[in-house]
Amino acid sequence: MKRFHRLGLAACAALALSNLQAEACTRFVYETGTGGYIVGRSMDWMADPETDLWSFPRGMARNGGAGDGSITWTSKYGSVIASFYNVATVDGMNEAGLMANTLYLAESDYGDAKASGKKLISVGAWTQYALDNFATVAEAVEALSKEPFAIVAPVLPDGNKATGHLSLADKTGDSAIFEYVDGKLVIHHSPKYTVMTNSPPFDQQLAISTYWKNIDGLDFLPGTINSADRFVRMSWALNATPKQKEEPLAVASAFSLIRSISVPLGLASPGKPNIAATIWRSIGDLGAKRYYFESAYSPSIFWVDLDKLNLAAGAKPARLDLSTHPVLSGEASARFAPSEPFPFLAQ
């Protein structure tokens, strides 16, 4: 399903103004000079969401974390993920090279889950469900379009409501964005959908971006940290960035893109409590199955090679504890320690 509206300048401005209190996460898909794909994202939040990295093996018995009536499944693929308050999976890559990123969307409306008659899943488990079950975007779109569950969105530990939209990308460059608007699932599926931010919903973001395509980005681009402006700037920068053939340079280019759109640590805006600083950034090299992580609290980058994690059925879940903001560099798979998996955000 794809919805598209053309907006005039006045409508674009109104949408941008209405977005002043949106979260500030950004996601993009970068094509390298060798036909590979790298996904980058920023996690922007009002406070440190106490993110840890986790490795989850294939063969894990799962449930949706929504109490009675929750959907259950067994993971087909192992994954490395970034948690959110250790009650939700918000980012990660599986061993098939599928990348999943969840970003805040204030307009999310999942409908009345209990009245739906469907199995239930916490929004905190939505991203993990995709990573556990699918190898490609097309496979995920086919399965999720049948709506095998209804999403429950509880309140986060920090008091904010858990509302978000999900993006998926695979090593072929395919991309899809899943949103619930007015209680209905809307799926935007195309390799063309290489950028996602927050509010407004994606069809309106596309319309705003279409207007700005008529403006030469070398002369002028919208400059605020608001979601609509970041969508435009990232779209322009992504198209302008050379497709690098050497992997280190391609990864460096992806980091330069996500840093260029990030929000300074500690930034606060009186009267706009949801304008948020960038807490961390991740880069996923889908072909190499390598997950890079950069904390805004640390001066260094580290990465995890999925092939070096024990993701075999029967292996124990493991955690890389980032609670003390350690300064890590290089390949970090050996630093994961066996740990009981966190429960998904309950009702």
Q: Catalytic residue numbers?
A: 25
What six digits make up the tokens of 164?
């978000």
CA separation for the pair 1, 188 (Å, rounded): 6
CA separation for the pair 25, 228 (Å, rounded): 11
Among the listed residues 162, 123, 143, the one whose alpha carbon sits nearest the alpha carbon of residue 344: 123
Q: Which residues pair with 61 in a beta bridge?
A: 74
- Cis status, amide bond into 326, omega within 30 of 0: no
DSSP string, 61-90: EEE-SSSTTB-EEE-SS-EEEEEETTTEEE
What six digits make up the tokens of 235?
């779209």
Beta strand 149-152 with 119-122 is parallel
What six digits make up the tokens of 315?
């292996």
First to last CA, the chain: 30
Count of other CB atoms within 10 angstroms of residue 190: 12
Alpha helices, H only, the chain: 9-18, 123-133, 137-144, 202-212, 227-240, 247-260
